[in-house]
Every structure is written in C-alpha cells, then in structure tokens.
Structure 1
C-alpha cells in the first residue's frame, strides 16, 4: 500500500471516529431544547388530560421544557402523521392511543404506517371500557341489560364512527347476540350530554368520559370490559362473566418518529417511566378509573399488534368503514 493511500485511509477513519464522537456527544447533551408532545385531539379531552398529567414530571426528569401541542383532526391521524414525518431527533413526539395507532388504519387509508413510521416509547395508561346506562334505565345489572336489550329496540352511543367505543359496541352486539343501534357523536362530551337528555340506552365509555355524569347521578355503570373484575373500576362485574370472551381496553402512550436514535429513545423512555411512577400522576389516574402503568417499548409494540388483530376482525365482521 502506498504512503499516500495509507494517509487517505487514516484520514477517513479519523473523520468517521470524529463523526461518531460528535454524535455521541450530541446525544449525551440531549435534550438541548424544548420537547413537543403532540396530542392529536382537542384540548380538554381524555388524551389531552393524560398528556398534561405527565408533562411536568417529564420536565423535572429531563430538566428541559416540555410543551403540549394540540393538533386535532381526522380521528387523531393529522397530529400523528405530523410526528411520523417529523425529524427523528426526539424533540417531537406524540401522545397516542388506540385510535390513530391501531384502529383507524384498519378502516381507511392514512398517510403514515402506524407500525413502520412510529417508534413505541412506553404505554402510560390502560383504561377498560365501561358499559354505562342512564341512571333511570330499567336494567339494574348486566344480566338484566342483556335480557331486556334482546327484546327492545335499544341503541348505544359512541364518540364517533370507527372509534373504540363504536367498535366495542359492535363487538358486544356480536358476542351477546344483540342488535343495539349505533348512534355516533363528535366526541365524548356531546355523547354524555345525550345521556343526560335521555337519548341513549347505553354506551361504552372510559372513566374520563363518564366521570362527570356518574358523579351527577345521571348515568350508572353496569360492567367493565376487562377479562376479569378489576380494581381499576372497583365493584363492577366483568362483561365476560355474562358474555364470554368479551374484552375492550384502551391504552394511551408515547411514540416517537421511527428513526430516533437508541440513546434518545432510551432517555425518553426513562422520562415517561419516571412520570408515570409519580404519586400525583398515579392518584389523578386512579380517580378517573385509569391504570397508570408504563411498559417497555417492546411490550407497547405488542399491545398495538394485538389490538390491530382483535379489532381487525370486528371491523371486517361488522363491515365498518370511515370516510
């Protein structure tokens, strides 16, 4: 090998090592500017409330400003797409949930691949869907509800066509042998208002959606959609006791653009785990019938895959489509 060629190779190797060292230093210094958590729904909703609950604890852990940025629209897919296409530097992440990350992609074409374009960081919370009925419903328990619904022309509300609450109702129809008519609304607030006005016979709600009306005595909970009874919503039977095999549990969590480097993804994961473990976060979630629980990125990826498989069958069976 000539002396000049050796010189060139040494120079290339030195440049490569320098580049790696610079990258390592840059990641060690991360975060060097504010981090934006995109919430793909309007301010004040369930997803927004949970994202804001972990905002301050994440700031404390990362010693950097964390901003919650609401980018609502198209069932959560507008804000999620924004993050999927963001620079993979960890400064733009999304507070996702079952909808835009597992369910909506089953029913219509979206501008991102929920599996390939986003990197799971950690689940933040799980919340079972709860069968709610008006306070004056003639059904006093789950068994009575199923028996009476088979004989009457009852309906069920949802927070929107193609939402988890919609799919849960259709899944319930199929497994319980019912024909409850679906009535979609534009979000949880108008759906719960319809309860107060006596326009619905049932709905599957999260603890966040139902809390106000439950406390006001306008709705009552009959059963929870976990496979067994759960302390997350104490005192309620599991729907599966009357309708074997029934399950519907929503999740909320943090995802980043797919190309985020491992060290930054690991630091984000540590920040989320810290936030979820904080007593004030645990208390706030528990008061709303939500389980605060972090996961590994691999566990979160499996949650998404399993959910897509479960609800894919329901979408196909019920021929559910979204515009």
Structure 2
C-alpha cells in the first residue's frame, strides 16, 4: 500500500511539472478577453465610484476591456462570494473593502472564507474615519465634545450606516478608549444618516470622507477630528482623535482581490496595472477631491492589513458584544 501511495505522489508530481509550461503560456497570453471587476455594492455608491476611477486606466494598461459588474446585497458578501467561487483565471476580480473582506465574517456566517478563498492584489485607496457632529452642536472642538459626552453620559447617541458597519465599530471603539457611553443608532445607509443629522436626532457619527461629503455640503454637519494617528492632509485642518484619546485609529481601505489560485504571473500583471492606475494624476485627483488617499500596496502588505484588521475589529466586537 505504501508503494502504491508513493507511486501516486510521483505521478502527481510529474503531471504538475508537465503542466507548468502550459500555465506559463496561459499567463503570458493574459489578458485575451474582457476582465470583470465585481463591485459588491450598488452603482453610484462610494465603492463603485472608486472602482470606476481606475477602470479606464486599467483597460489601457492591460489592453482589454474592464467591465464593472455591480452585485449588491448582504453587506457586500453576495458580490464577494461571486468572486470567491469564480474560476481562478484572472478574468473575475473583486473590488473589495474593509466590510466584506475583514469585518462581516466576524459577525455572522458568510458563504466564503475571506482569507482562504480570496487573494489580495493591491489596495487602491485609504480613508480615515472622521468624527462628525451636527452644525449646531455645543461642542466646537474635539476636547469640548469629549467633555460634553462624559458629562451627558448615555443621554447622547451616535449614528452609523448599519449594524456591524465600520462606522458602528469605530463608534464602539471610541466609547471604549475614550470612556464614553454614547448610544448607537443604526441607519440603513448614508442618506438616512444625513436625514437624522438634519433632523437633530443625532449628536455624533463616524463617517468616511467620501460618505460624509454630502453631509458636509448640506451645512448640517461639522467635522471635529480624524481617526488617524496624527493630522492628515487627506482631511486638512482637523486634529487627530489620538491627540486626546491616545492610540485611537480607524481607517477604511478599498482594493482589488482575486479568487485564490490565480497563477502568480497573472496576479503580477494585474498588480502592475493597479499600481500604475493609482499613480495616474487624474486618478489621484478624483480620490483626493473625495478626501480619499490614493494608496497602492504589495499583495503581502494588503494581506497583512486584512489580518491585522480582523484581529483588531474582532477584539472590538467581542468587547462590545456586537451581534447582527
């Protein structure tokens, strides 16, 4: 029996060696047809806008059409699952973000494994979470807000774009690290959150620069501070929350992933196109105008970022007892 198993292993190894030239030829001919990028959110949303910003540059760099396929639903997990189960040939990619790729699986069962079923290619952009308050808030500075919140205790609330969202988790992290008792009120997206701000129903919320743009433009909201370790040019003129709450940080990322198993040569071609696309001046301007930092990375750096976030947000979820 041992000899049979050994022979099987030898045959399998020989077959794998014989297949290598074919795999290399396949990769060298890539891409030979359109590439589908699945955005797991509706057309026109923040994630979709960023995906479309790199769409044309990637088409030019790869020499094939790049087609955006919006597959919204279930917090981004429906579209992400489409990619996780796609053929590992480089023709189906995911434009992911922190939610379906680092957080949602910590809160409920999802039909894919974000670590073992998907291969990071590169981040595309980063955006810090921003502490926003109503324009008529008595707190004009971060220090004043902390004093106000500690004085009022659980009489104050903060809104989020949904249970288990990054805006929710950031609020709970803020409560914990700042010693506050703000009550969480979830909404079903940015538009209802803005309406709540405009109606005077909220005292605070954590938003991204992209999602918060319409709130800020409405004149109903003010930004107080940014959740980066120190002030950032991405959202100029704001202090870092860490100046008053040491160690506080919360950042959202957006990036490209592939099904696990795509040949390394193909991943390298896509990675090169993403990095070059993000570096283009017109793409950088689109991102910066939306308070988003253009930021490409190596696959290994992106993998480490996801692993670090899963550990960090897992601890926040456990400590706050968050369920969805």
Same fold (TM over 0.5): yes
Structure 1 residue aligned with 2:258 = 256
State the TM-score, normalized to the length of structure 1. 0.93
Cα separation, 2, equivalents of 1:18 and 1:246: 53
Structure 2 residue aligned with 1:47 = 47
| Counterpart among 196, 199, 210 of residue 197 in structure 1 | 199
Structure 2 residue aligned with 1:95 = 95
Q: How does 1:104-115 map to 2 (within 5 A)?
A: 104-115=104-115
Q: Aligned residues, how many?
A: 311
Give deviations 1:73-127, integer Å, cap 9, x for gaps.
1111111111001000011010101001111111111111111110000000010
Compute the displacement of 1:215 (Å). Answer: 2.2
Structure 1 residue aligned with 2:30 = 30
Cα separation, 2, equivalents of 1:68 and 1:189: 24
Alignment partner of 2:151: what SS? coil
Structure 2 residue aligned with 1:84 = 84
Cα separation, 2, equivalents of 1:115 and 1:311: 15
Compute the displacement of 1:220 (Å). Answer: 0.7
Structure 1 residue aligned with 2:244 = 242
State the TM-score, normalized to the length of structure 2. 0.93
Give deviations 1:19-68, integer Å, cap 9, x for gaps.
44333222111111111111111111111111111111100100110011
Alignment partner of 1:64: what SS? coil
Structure 1: segments with no counterpart, 5+ residues: 1-12
Structure 2: segments with no counterpart, 5+ residues: 1-12
Q: How does 1:154-165 map to 2 (within 5 A)?
A: 154-165=156-167
| Counterpart among 281, 284, 287 of residue 285 in structure 1 | 287
Compute the displacement of 1:213 (Å). Answer: 2.1
8 Å Cα contact 1:168/1:204 also seen in 2: yes
Compute the displacement of 1:18 (Å). Answer: 7.0
Structure 2 residue aligned with 1:148 = 148
Cα separation, 1, equivalents of 2:214 and 2:16: 59
8 Å Cα contact 2:99/2:166 also seen in 1: yes
Compute the displacement of 1:16 (Å). Answer: 7.7
Cα RMSD of the aligned pairs, angstroms, is 1.7
Query: Is 2:315 the counterpart of 1:313?
Result: yes
Relative to 1, partners in 2 of residues 1:268 and 1:143: Cα closer, same or farther, differing over 3 Å? same
Alignment partner of 1:151: what SS? helix
8 Å Cα contact 2:215/2:221 also seen in 1: yes
Cα separation, 2, equivalents of 1:19 and 1:301: 28
| Counterpart among 265, 270, 273 of residue 271 in structure 1 | 273
Q: How does 1:167-206 map to 2 (within 5 A)?
A: 167-206=169-208
Relative to 1, partners in 2 of residues 1:115 and 1:217: Cα closer, same or farther, differing over 3 Å? same
Cα separation, 1, equivalents of 2:173 and 2:289: 27
Cα separation, 1, equivalents of 2:20 and 2:224: 58
8 Å Cα contact 2:23/2:263 also seen in 1: no
Relative to 1, partners in 2 of residues 1:138 and 1:87: Cα closer, same or farther, differing over 3 Å? same
